[in-house]
Amino acid sequence: MKQSPDKVVYGSRTEVTGGGFYFACHPGVPCFTRCCKNPDMYLYPYDIIRLKSRLAMDSETFLDTHTYTAVRDNPWFPHVMLKMSQKQDRPCSFLTGQGCTVYADRPFSCRAYPLEPALSRDMDGRRPDRYFVVRHPYCKGHEQDPYQSVEQWIADQELGPFIEHNRRWAAIDALLRANPWGAKGLENPAVKMVFMAAFNPDRFREFVFSSSFLKRFDIPASRKAAVEARDTDLMGLGFDWIEFLLTGKGPLAEAKTG
């Protein structure tokens, strides 16, 4: 049965510990596209890959055109944020009268809403993910059928690959919150290298194939070919390299010399 508005506690964030939640979003809801106006939108590494591919853009051009960086809750690493247009109400640049023009490749946060996953932040991923439902006063989707489980929502919104890649990023993000830079803080040149590996895949690919990177690390030929061909494999290598830089450990091993 549809949830009546008086049962919806707006402004709340509730963990889904069993059962599910009422929600639907479609052009028939009275608030359609309201949430695409001036959202405070975080982008994650896999979002960049999906969006820059969708727009047939180089990752650096995408970053310059559609994002800005902001230091927020983590003083030791900037977040990448989606830039809004300068039009009245500051709508998302991808919004038109018909809706989202990048819908099939929309970012994780747009796709997951109202579900807010708290992904396991340990490197071996043994701790379970947790899921919360957030409610904003303007969003009428909570008053709609159907009632669905977290698993159904993940399947419907094709969140699987986003969760898989974001879980790895969440573990790296946890390392980045512990000031891995020493006394130099954000002025440490390694910050730029980590940022490139995470958020600027086309520059990272150039770096991998034009520097001594492939000589320094023990990378099988099949992985080199995959990294050259696919952005997601490149992103995986980037995550491994970041883990190596920050901890000296992880899946990436230095090549034996001599």
Q: Please, what is the minimum distance in Å from the beta carbon of residue 45 to ligand SF4?
A: 16
| Cα dihedral: 192, 241, 119, 43 (round 10) | 30
Stretch that binds ligand SF4, among 90-98, 118-126, 170-178, 215-223 (CB under 6 A): 90-98
Closest CA to 67 of 35, 104, 41, 46: 41
Task: Tokens 């932040």: give the residue.
Answer: 121
Q: Is 102 in the site for ligand SF4 (CB under 6 A)?
A: yes
Cβ-Cβ contacts under 8 Å for 120 (sequence gap 6 or more): 126, 127, 128, 129, 167, 170, 171
Stretch that binds ligand SF4, among 65-73, 137-145, 164-172, 183-191 (CB under 6 A): 137-145
Residue 10: CB atoms within 10 Å: 12
Cβ-Cβ contacts under 8 Å for 100 (sequence gap 6 or more): 33, 36, 92, 94, 106, 110
Stretch that binds ligand SF4, among 14-22, 69-77, 88-96, 234-242 (CB under 6 A): 88-96
Q: What is the rounded CA–CA span in Å between residue 91 and residue 39?
A: 8
One character per residue 38-57, x = contact with ligand SF4 (rule: CB under 6 A): -x------------------
Q: Residue 84 corresponds to which tokens in the numbers above? A: 């809004």
Q: Is 134 in the site for ligand SF4 (CB under 6 A)?
A: no
Q: Please say whether the beta carbons of 200 and 244 come within 8 A.
A: no
Q: Please, what is the minimum distance in Å from the beta carbon of residue 10 to ligand SF4?
A: 11
Q: Is 83 in the site for ligand SF4 (CB under 6 A)?
A: no
Give the nearer residue to ligand SF4 in terms of CB position, either 32 or 132: 32
Q: Is 238 in the site for ligand SF4 (CB under 6 A)?
A: no
Q: Is 138 in the site for ligand SF4 (CB under 6 A)?
A: yes
Q: Is 100 in the site for ligand SF4 (CB under 6 A)?
A: yes
Q: Which residue from 110, 154, 194, 237 is in contact with ligand SF4, where contact means CB under 6 A?
A: 110
Total H helices, total E strands in the chain = 10, 10
The site for ligand SF4, by CB under 6 A, has a size of: 22
Closest CA to 42 of 80, 92, 3: 80
Q: Please say whether the beta carbons of 171 and 127 come within 8 A.
A: no
Q: Which residue from 21, 25, 175, 234 is in contact with ligand SF4, where contact means CB under 6 A?
A: 25
Q: Which residue from 45, 117, 141, 238 is in contact with ligand SF4, where contact means CB under 6 A?
A: 141
Residues within the interface to ligand SF4 (CB under 6 A) = 25, 29, 31-36, 39, 92, 94-95, 100, 102, 106-107, 110, 113, 138-141
